[in-house]
Structure 1
């Protein structure tokens, strides 16, 4: 078993920001859970995954992220950013691009990225990814599931 990430969230017809969990699983089966979200309040329903700049990241099992992030000054991120690939994500004529994992800075919610909602959790996530990178692991598989 290798390191992996799983983002799960229940989508619903709601005007409130919905929360999910980003789970980091270690090779021994232990799991660290982080409060996270994807999308903007009011845009977290089934079908919204393909609404650019508002909906959550599309569900899928073929994503990956690097274990080393890079600094991004973009409003709402303003810090380390772990770029999700493939980029772009395409389904027929629908496209989502420039998605990543970052701290949910400024206004709550994201433009499709996975945003960790707790600063202490975000700092721990970044530390853990750096430790995994030091083991020689360059990328982690990421699965996105909705309930």
Structure 2
């Protein structure tokens, strides 16, 4: 089964913290991408529930293999909508999370974003190839 795993070390930092998004193929081959979620100064444990600033909450999600285009500032391109949407807990609600290229200002409002344009294009191409196999979505695990 194809799957995605996003990991990042949450801690206090005035600098943007980067983690890893790993695409794993059914034969256990893995490809790593530099990724982040959240804004600088908002990537500490507990910040996952700060809307518009904190990283995506840890948990299990689904991500489609086919994106749609968003002109929204900060995305301005292909957007893979992460579900469930919204994510609800006793600590808060997070909504409209996705996977996209880190356009404009570094960091995100909770989405998982890739830093490197070439890596982003390769990931999009790989997800398109997986979609061509008839796979509609992949499980995404977020771990801190």
The alignment's TM-score, normalised by the length of structure 1, stands at 0.97
- 1:101-140 paired onto structure 2 within 5 Å: 101-140=99-138
- Rate the CA distance shift 1:75–1:8 in 2: closer, same or farther, 3 A: same
Determine if the alignment matches structure 1 residue 23 to structure 2 residue 10.
no
Shift of 1:92: 1.8
The runs of at least 4 consecutive aligned structure 1 residues that moved more than 2 Å come to none
Q: Distance between the aligned counterparts of 1:21 and 1:10, measured in 2? A: 10
Listed one character per residue, the Cα deviations across residues 88-112 of structure 1 (whole Å, up to 9, x for unaligned) are: 0000251000000000000000000
Listed one character per residue, the Cα deviations across residues 106-142 of structure 1 (whole Å, up to 9, x for unaligned) are: 0000000000000000000000000000000000000
Question: Residue 13 of structure 1 corresponds to which residue in structure 2?
Answer: 12
Aligned-residue RMSD, C-alpha:
0.6
SS of equivalent residue, structure 1 residue 107: coil
Q: Distance between the aligned counterparts of 2:114 and 2:91, measured in 1? A: 29
Structure 2: runs of 5+ lacking an equivalent:
none
Question: Residue 99 of structure 1 corresponds to which residue in structure 2?
Answer: 97
Question: Residue 57 of structure 2 corresponds to which residue in structure 1?
Answer: 58
Question: Residue 42 of structure 2 corresponds to which residue in structure 1?
Answer: 43
Listed one character per residue, the Cα deviations across residues 20-51 of structure 1 (whole Å, up to 9, x for unaligned) are: 00000000000000000000000000000000
Across the two proteins, how many residue pairs are aligned to each other?
A: 144
Structure 1: runs of 5+ lacking an equivalent:
none
Q: Distance between the aligned counterparts of 2:90 and 2:106, measured in 1? A: 30
Question: Residue 67 of structure 1 corresponds to which residue in structure 2?
Answer: 65
